[in-house]
Amino acid sequence: MRKGTFRFGAFAVLLSLLLSGCQSTQYEWVSTTKASTVSSNRLALLSVSEFSELVAEMEELMRGFVPEVDVLVKNADARSLPALLEQAKEALLQSPFGAYAKADINYDVLLQDTVPIVRFTLNYGRPVSECKQLEPETDEEALWEDVAQCLTDLNRALDREIFFEPVDLKAKLDSILVNLPLANIGLESYTVEVYPEKEFPAEEQPGKTSRIVSFRFKFAANNVTLISERQKTLQVAKEIVEPFLDLGEPERFYCLYFALLDRAEYKVDMISTGIGPVSSTAYGPLVYEEGASKGGKGTSKGFAHALKMLCDEAGIECRVIFGRKSNRTHYWNMVRINGLWYHTDPAEGDRESELSGAYFLFTDEQASANYTWTDRPEDIQSRSRYYTYERVRRMVESQEIPGTKAP
């Protein structure tokens, strides 16, 4: 719209608002020539008297993706108006929602001197469909539950406005991801972006701030393919676990541990397929077959994820641990057997070796010689030596469980 032009109906409403001495914080919706209920086809009429009020009201309207805002600016003369508007524009562009929506804002003084009316034109660089995800979140645990569900459901994006002090989001997401075996299959990369904080007025919520957090996930294949391969991996895990569900926890874990070792071999090199680097996921040890050869392949991360998936299906509490072993990056597990935590390292296990039991169940003291961990909950510690390899092996042998001949 050219400078100096104005819709007659909107101007009439504005003029009547001015003459009637309207309250500064009130505004109302007025349809444009397109008689539509969609907010993108509407104007907002707004009357403000202070700079902070103008910015706050404008940001609220931006969240509705309003394309044009007609503002009657009270108590501002023609000389001070340009500086006020420029400041308002910069404040809006740098606000949490303005930065998130990638807003481009222009303004034009339609009637100057007699009635200072300003038209703001707002263009948004982010689709409305994405911004529908911008839900408020006051609980950090609930946020990470949403993230985990997003990854499991193969959603590409998640946006939230958080009302709590964020931790190191990338480190926290890495910690969550490492214990979501199914979600790792096909996940290629991700980005986390935090937009500027917004501080609430002292009279409303003293010292409280909000931030907008945007997660973007990239997957190596389409959803149909990934759903199929994830279901295949889960089905294999269920088939391995099913014969041992009635056993006690020590015997059940023993059978799963050695079933995994019998099924797959450790491989340092990464194996990539159409669904990404499968050897570093549960898919590698449980499903992948190389050429005519049978049996899975997995790195330490792949083995740790596979064992985590098996334990989850078997009802055994298990975590993937990340750190270093003998000065190299390594993944292994910690499992809880009848209330007692133990380290276990399936990537290093070997049924045919004399050391087959050395990596089966071991304590913090035993692990400290070769392992250092960088991501482990403080409440998980392993001190008991009650369930040794020899003890559990004898428990299994006494029951004569098919397919569990000890090494």
- For 164-214, write each residue's pLDDT tens digit: 888 889 999 999 999 999 999 999 999 999 998 876 555 555 556 888 999
Query: What pLDDT is recorded for position 286?
Result: 96
Query: What pLDDT is recorded for position 269?
Result: 85
What does the block give as tokens for 205? Answer: 């919520």
Task: Give the residue, 69 or 153, on which the prediction is more confident.
Answer: 153
Query: What pLDDT is recorded for position 115?
Result: 67
What does the block give as tokens for 131? Answer: 């911004």
Task: Give the residue, 2 or 62, on which the prediction is more confident.
Answer: 62
The per-residue pLDDT for range 51-100, each reduced to its tens digit, is 888 888 888 888 888 888 888 777 766 777 888 889 889 999 998 899 99
Question: Is the pLDDT confidence value at 28 over 60?
Answer: no
Query: What pLDDT is recorded for position 177?
Result: 93
One-letter amino acid for residue 274 of the chain: G
Question: Residue 99: is it exposed, middle or buried by C-beta count within 10 angstroms (0-12/13-18/19+)?
Answer: middle
Query: What pLDDT is recorded for position 35?
Result: 29
Arithmetic mean of pLDDT, 280-294: 82
Q: Out of 46-55, 378-387, 388-397, pick the least confident.
A: 46-55
**35-44, 108-117, 321-330: which has the highest mean pLDDT?**
321-330
Between CA 197 and CA 21 the distance in angstroms is 34
Would you give the DSSP letter of residue 197? P
Cβ atoms within 10 Å of 224's Cβ, excluding its own: 9
Exposed e or buried b for every residue in 282-292, given b needs 16+ CB within 10 A?
bbbbbbbeeee
Q: Domains of the chain: which residue ranges?
A: 8-125, 133-219, 224-399
Task: Give the residue, 52 or 383, on which the prediction is more confident.
Answer: 383
Percent of the chain past pLDDT 70, that is, above it, reads: 80
Q: Tell me if 83 sits within 8 A of 76, measured CB to CB.
A: no
Q: Cβ neighbours of residue 306 under 8 Å, at least 6 residues apart?
A: 181, 237, 260, 264, 282, 284, 285, 286, 296, 298, 346
Query: What pLDDT is recorded for position 358?
Result: 86
Question: Is the pLDDT confidence value at 19 over 50?
Answer: no
Same fold, 133-219 and 224-399: no
pLDDT band at 294 (very low <50, low <70, confident <90, very high): low
Residue labelled with tokens 């334990």 = 311
Task: Say whether pTM exceeds 0.95.
Answer: no
Q: What is the mean pLDDT of the chain?
A: 83
**Does residue 373 sit in helix, strand or coil?**
strand
Question: Is the pLDDT confidence value at 391 over 90?
Answer: yes
pLDDT band at 377 (very low <50, low <70, confident <90, very high): confident
What does the block give as tokens for 13? Answer: 């409403």
pLDDT band at 40 (very low <50, low <70, confident <90, very high): very low
We find that the CATH architecture of domain 133-219 is 2-Layer Sandwich (3.30)
Q: Which CATH class is domain 224-399?
A: alpha beta
